Amino acid sequence: MTERGPEIDPNRRLSGHPAEQPLAPIADKSVLKDYALFSMGLTSTTGPWGTSFAANLTPDDTGLGNWTEAQFIKAIREGKSKGMDGARPLLPPMPWVVYKNLSHEDLSSIFAYLQTIAPVKNAVPNPVPPSAL
Ligand code: HEM
């Protein structure tokens, strides 16, 4: 984040919330009644769902490297973590509801593109439930 707003970090592009970044303590939880809080890099968000972390979409083992296209399409169409039946629902602000009606061709193209970008090793943390904030 700069004085002009967010700038892309080419070394971390689409690799999600940096695993080593410490989470800011929330000094006054009463703000969560009216506000969602974003980390400065816009990769973690705290709201009524707890804290969620943007996923690593690069083709590393810690990202989408081992995913099938079918998993990717299920994740986006049904909002399922890892694109697996029975998995937990994807949390906000991942706007899968906005993307779920994309055509098969578009989703297939997005997945194919994501498999071509540079792999970045980054194991994004698990979400923090509201009770643990
Ligand atoms: C075309 C654009 C996007 C694609 C292809 C995409 C893809 C994905 C996928 C496949 C996951 C699931 C990862 C997993 O289950 O391990 C995910 C999670 C996530 N995405 Fe997106 N995403 C997109 C846009 C966005 C945007 C615009 C935001 C935020 C404003 C966002 C925020 C998140 C967050 C916070 C998660 C983690 C949710 C959780 O842990 O439950 N994504 N994304």
Closest-CA residue, ligand 1 atom 2, reads: 99
Residue ranges per structural domain of the chain: 29-121
pLDDT, position 107: 98
Is 0.85 topped by the overall pTM?
A: yes
pLDDT score of 24: 76
Q: Which atom of ligand 1 is nearest to the CA of 17?
A: 35
Residue-wise pLDDT tens digits, 53-90: 999 999 999 999 999 999 999 999 999 999 999 999 99
Which atom of ligand 1 lies closest to the CA of 92? 35
* Burial degree of 117 (CB within 10 A; 0-12, 13-18, 19+): middle
Beta bridge partners of 38: 45
Contact 81 CB / ligand 1 (< 6 Å): yes
